Structure 1
């Protein structure tokens, strides 16, 4: 391990100026997120040339893909928490051991996930009531993505481990290279080779594979802060158990949430292709502008992990509070910007009057809640997971989606009214039994979940590190 480099970064994280350190860690992540969203928008642009059905395919299948792939992200987050806290506690060799164990676990787990994913895909698409026009495109796209799961998992592990040490530049350089490669390959595979939707998926898998190979090479040769060897990659069932204990709640929570979006997709599709296409394009526009907020949250996670490892809990709390303020402002600006330029921006992707008209409903009833989601809820969940308290992160995520978003969006979209003790409460009738009710319910879930998350954060029960017994 290049301990001198990591020690210098650690001192800055646990003792340096908060805002300056946060920006130093965040700006590479912000750049990477912006480029990634640029790819998503390019993907949407090119697929839009094939028609509404092809454009909807990735958005339709990503809830299914995410449900199964988030098992991997949970374990990556556990590795992130262990490595970050070991570095904060200045236990550098144990950080190497944790990195090697995570890598070998992800290799094993990714093979299992790929096989299971391919088996359940037809049933998942059927459950979502994907329209016959979109179904063949969605099935083709997801099948190819699932074949590349091992590359996605190992690349994910590499990125998480680098961020845990405070090195945000190396994974970002590789990620940006793979994204630009993806952007170049997209039109070639989609149009020049005539592969259509399959070409978009294949470009993504190939680019992820390149990133995974580069990351593994850097880790094995010791050219980055951490080093994995044959010795520390050998199955360590005791440490696997620890990663499972920390990572499993996060995996279950994130997968449950992704499956929740499978259910939500079914709810939105109840109002047709136009409504879903408007939802997909609008959320991708928001993602482009809020990439800054996500990058700052990821940088905050590294700072929280190391400060918790160093038992500097009040500093970790202060870092999180300042991140909330910054991200709330950024997300608010994003929503206002989309509100002003919605129509001309939409026409770039899909000049469909019905979809553009529907996008106004998405903005009015759902997107106004995004500042609460990105500014508070996302930050609180990352604080919990970075501190290793993944059960709290899991419960908060499940509450938002299964306890609030799905029931509220279904109730206001599909149930006319409810009578309790002789008192009738109009639900769907308030919005004429239209998609307005669905998006209103989604917006309310963000407001309420943010309030619950903030109250839980302020209790401070997350201020305890997970490496006590080491």
Structure 2
């Protein structure tokens, strides 16, 4: 590890001006989020040229893909917490060893996920009650994405490790290149332009895994060549079962919570599809727009995670709490502005993607009953959840996530949609209520302060002795 560079960034994170440091860490992440969402919007735009069924395929696929990817993301979160807290405690050698263990573990785990995911896709899509019109598109898209999962996990590990050190710029530079590659490949492979094969929806998926693979190769090179703050050697990448056990201990609750939530969205997809292709298409486009307009909030929350991890490692708990509170205020304001903009320009923007009067009409219901809750999710729930994850208190994050989705969103959406309103209004109202209630619970738990404790405490004591 390039200790002087990491140490300098660490000093700013644990001692510098909060707002200035937060912005410095956040702006590359904001750019990265916008780039990613622009890709999703571009993907939606091109698939919309094929038709409503093709446009819905990625929206159907990602809850399923996310269910298995979330297992790995939980372990990546644990690795992020360990590396960040070791740096905060100025234990740089241990931070580097933790990074190597995480990187090797994630690639092994991702290979297993790819095989399992590829095999279960047909059964999962049937379970989700995907309509016959959408099914073939979703099957093709999802299976191709699963084939490239190991490379997606590899780049995810690289991004988490860089963010733990305070380096938020390097992953963004790589993402900028890979997303640009993806955007170029999309129309070429979807429509067969300039001699490329015409693959339709499968072409969009293939463009994604080619881009992910390129990013993972670049990230691996930078880590192994010592071109970034962390320098991994072959020794660092050897299986370390004792540290794997620590990652599992901290990461398993996060993995269970994240995968349970992702599977919850599989169930939610089944519920939404009960009201037809029009409702699901409106939901897909609307959420893509929200993701674009709330990219700033998500980037700030991710930057906050780096500051929380290192300040917890340095045992500066009061400062960590202050960082989280300021992030909540900023994110709530920004998300509110974003939803207001969607409300004002909804019809015009929808016509760009899919000029379907039925879908545009349905989008008004999504806005009225669901999207007004997004500021509470982005400004409170998401921030508190990130505080719990970054501090290594993943059980709290797991409980919050399961409460929001399984305790509130799914039952409320089903009961209100199918038994009270008897329409999609009930589904989206249930989704909105889940955000309001879960955010209130998260805020109360945050102020209780039980997350203000290091997960590396035992290791530091051993070193001192």
Is the TM value for this pair above 0.5?
yes
Tell me, yes or no, if structure 1 residue 121 matches structure 2 residue 121.
Answer: yes
3-state SS of 1:382 partner: helix
For structure 1, list consecutive stretches of 5 or more residues without a partner in the other structure: 416-427
3-state SS of 2:458 partner: coil
Q: Which whole-Å CA distance do the structure 1 matches of 2:98 and 2:233 have between them?
A: 11
Match of 2:322 among 318, 323, 330: 318
3-state SS of 1:311 partner: coil
In the superposition, the TM-score normalised over structure 2's length comes to 0.97
After superposing the two structures, state which structure 1 stretch, 114-123 or 25-34, moved more: 114-123
Name the residue aligned to 2:190.
190
Tell me, yes or no, if structure 1 residue 278 matches structure 2 residue 267.
Answer: no
Tell me, yes or no, if structure 1 residue 442 matches structure 2 residue 431.
Answer: yes
| Superposed displacement of residue 120, structure 1 | 1.4
Q: Which whole-Å CA distance do the structure 2 matches of 1:119 and 1:452 have between them?
A: 38
| Superposed displacement of residue 177, structure 1 | 1.0
Match of 2:455 among 436, 443, 466: 466
> RMSD of aligned C-alpha atoms?
0.5
3-state SS of 2:63 partner: helix
Q: Which whole-Å CA distance do the structure 1 matches of 2:70 and 2:204 have between them?
A: 21
Aligned residue runs from structure 1 range 31-42, under 5 A: 31-42=31-42
Name the residue aligned to 2:463.
none
Name the residue aligned to 2:174.
174
Match of 1:456 among 435, 445, 465: 445
| Superposed displacement of residue 175, structure 1 | 1.1
| TM-superposition CA deviations, 1:363-415 (whole Å, max 9, x none) | 00000000000000000000000000011001100000000000000010012
| TM-superposition CA deviations, 1:324-354 (whole Å, max 9, x none) | 0000001100110000000000000000000
3-state SS of 1:49 partner: helix
Q: Which whole-Å CA distance do the structure 2 matches of 1:437 and 1:107 have between them?
A: 42
Name the residue aligned to 1:302.
306
Q: Which whole-Å CA distance do the structure 2 matches of 1:309 and 1:174 have between them?
A: 29
Name the residue aligned to 1:420.
none
3-state SS of 1:162 partner: helix
Tell me, yes or no, if structure 1 residue 364 matches structure 2 residue 368.
Answer: yes
Tell me, yes or no, if structure 1 residue 45 matches structure 2 residue 49.
Answer: no
Name the residue aligned to 1:77.
77
Match of 2:244 among 240, 247, 250: 240
| Superposed displacement of residue 176, structure 1 | 1.3
Q: Which whole-Å CA distance do the structure 1 matches of 2:106 and 2:92 have between them?
A: 21
Q: Which whole-Å CA distance do the structure 1 matches of 2:352 and 2:218 have between them?
A: 35
Aligned residue runs from structure 1 range 101-116, under 5 A: 101-116=101-116
Q: Which whole-Å CA distance do the structure 2 matches of 1:4 and 1:173 have between them?
A: 22
For structure 2, list consecutive stretches of 5 or more residues without a partner in the other structure: 460-465
| TM-superposition CA deviations, 1:405-461 (whole Å, max 9, x none) | 00000010012xxxxxxxxxxxx1xx3x11000000000000000000000000000
Aligned residue runs from structure 1 range 24-423, under 5 A: 24-191=24-191, 192=193, 193-415=197-419
| TM-superposition CA deviations, 1:211-248 (whole Å, max 9, x none) | 00000000001110011111111111000000000111
